[in-house]
Chains A and B, each alone.
Chain A
Amino acid sequence: MSHSSVLIVSDDTEFARTVAARWQAERRVPEITLTTSDVWQSSAAEGYNLVVVGPVRDNKISAILTALNSIPTSAAVYVSAEAKNVSHLAAEHPHVLIIPRDDGWIGTLILVAGEALRRAAAIARAQRAERISAEAQRNAVLGRYMLDMRPSVNNALTSVLGNADLLLLEPGQIHPDAREQIRTIHTMALRLHEIMQRFSSVAAEMRAGEKESQAETNSASQISPAGLAR
């Protein structure tokens, strides 16, 4: 599993230091990057699972929260020093979680951040599963196409191999060089046939495997609740 990443944006070094130090005490410590409001750019936030905003210069907070509110890929938490502004900010930036900086704020922040990171990890897992599923579906379509095309390939090979066989059955009528070329065509067509046969064998093995797995699933699902209780 990839490591979670957190960006802390704050002009108050004490805030950043406190949060980073508190996180070190947790079982799972994310990768933490510190930045100030001067250096911060909204585009950089997209690479992090969570952005924690601490005290920044007054004229910067609105721009930062507005930018974070528009980034749906990463979660954002703002630790607000002014408790009275919390409801107003929350209404204005619904995608940013606002925590008032009162007693126990750091515990709340770590708790909320942990949940946000778990959610981000779950989303990443779901996206990965979706990608794998899409790839499997693409491969299945290709496999089905190959299986559907097998009779057509066999038909074409029948003509190539059969006619080559017939030509090779008449010695003396064909120049030795041409005969050698026909033999090459014949050999290559046989190789294609072998490839198709291997493909068919793989398809048959996969079908057998699927049936076996299905049978196991069916027998497992037939275990009675009474049996489980024992």
Chain B
Amino acid sequence: MVLHLHFYLRVFLWRSAVPKKVLIVDDSQAELHLMQSMLQQGGFHSVGISDPTRIEEAIEEEHPNVILLDVVMPLRNGFQACRDLKSQQPYSSIPVILVTSKSAPSDRYWGEQQGANGYVSKPFTPDELLNAVKRFA
């Protein structure tokens, strides 16, 4: 029994020590860099991609704990991407936070309809971004 507790404690401590990984998808390099810097400040490890058609590929490679998804992107917008992820079994369990400059209540509602777990409106403070990520990571 003691051995078991010891084992679980070690696993817990190990898991706590490993920084959580966040996949950021945004077509703007400036915003990718900004969010990566903010997450780094908050103790997260982040990976950024600017091509929204490569999300699934990036998930397979990086195994992120949370995905930050911009909404307005060429080729595949954040709503579409979120809907696709939430409808595919291997990816549906990964929390998706939409990060968007569309801050109207109708946009937020539409985001929730696509299965998004969180919603961060631009412009955001480092605290707002980190708090949103910490809810799921």
Contact = CB atoms under 8 A, between A and B. Distances in A.
Chain A binding surface SS class: helix
Interface string B80-101: 0000000000000000000011
A204 B106 CA distance: 11
Interface stretch (B16-24, B49-57, B120-128): B120-128
Interface in A140-156: 150-155
A166 B37 contact: yes
Contact of A162 (B34, B100, B104, B121): B34
Nearest to A163: B34
Contacts of A165: 38, 125-126
B37 to A, nearest CB: 5
Contacts, number: 55
Contacts of B2: none
B127 to A, nearest CB: 9
Interface in B13-52: 28, 30-31, 34-35, 37-38, 41
21 contacts: A151-B101, A151-B102, A154-B103, A154-B121, A154-B122, A157-B123, A158-B34, A158-B123, A158-B124, A159-B34, A160-B123, A161-B125, A162-B31, A162-B34, A162-B38, A165-B125, A165-B126, A166-B34, A166-B37, A166-B38, A166-B41
